[in-house]
Structure 1
Amino acid sequence: MSEPLSSMSPPSVHHLAVVVRDLERAEAFYAGVLGLPVVRRWEDQAGAPRSVWLGLGSGCFLAVERAAASGPTRADEAPGWHCVALGIAPAEREAWRRRLAAAGVRIERESPYSMYARDPEGNLVALSHYPHAEEHAG
């Protein structure tokens, strides 16, 4: 018999994982451009880089995994996970915009609370400050 849900805590995010063709390029984006700290690196049995874990705060991490083979990519309109949304401070939105532009990363679209760009593999990444409006210096 299973445990009653009322006696358990709801699950929290432990980690997110993205599979990429070019691990080095993906790490340059997530660690270099976005500034996520490298928590751990993994190698395959031959000693080649297989994965890099990047800290997301609160004990959560992003596992960037090297793809074993080339394959299809998921279209934005297809069912499945849509994007990774990373939290930013509302007052830092314009600084993030400049940082992405300096790295050659194009903002694809925006909402009042989020900016959407793509990682080097084409995965959608949002920088979001929802539910807080952008703070303007006055």
Structure 2
Amino acid sequence: MSVIGGPVLGASAAAETSQLSPPNLQMNSVSPGLATSQDLVVAHQIELARSVQGVTTAAGGWNRCPAGNTCLFSAPNGQGAMAWFRSGSPNLAAQHFDNRTHATWKRAPGNWQFWTEPKYQGFNYLIPGPPTNLLADNMSSLKCV
């Protein structure tokens, strides 16, 4: 008898496995498709973004936005969860901020834009410099351009 990952070692393990396994269990292995070069670029961008950004649910307020970063807030007036970025993110779902941004503060240099779809697709908007409440929460990707 074998289980996923190799043979069962010992009689007691075999007995436990047969009791825990549902009858007539059939498994189909599915091979994932090959990653495209665009998939690899996006994966690299997400990993890069994770290395220079963060998310916090600490006490609210605009002042928790670190200097040199662009900050997103899940509630107006710098309240709620906050994510901060130095280079952006091709998919804000990775930071649990997809379509959740209600306020921004651009404390980083350069022009920052957000897009309504992941991977810098859809409509794009310039993020203003001072702390700003947004009228819509449709931000899905973000970067300095």
TM-score scaled to structure 1, two decimals? 0.25
TM-score by length of 2: 0.24
Structure with bigger gyration radius? 2
* Structure (1/2) with the larger helix percentage: 2
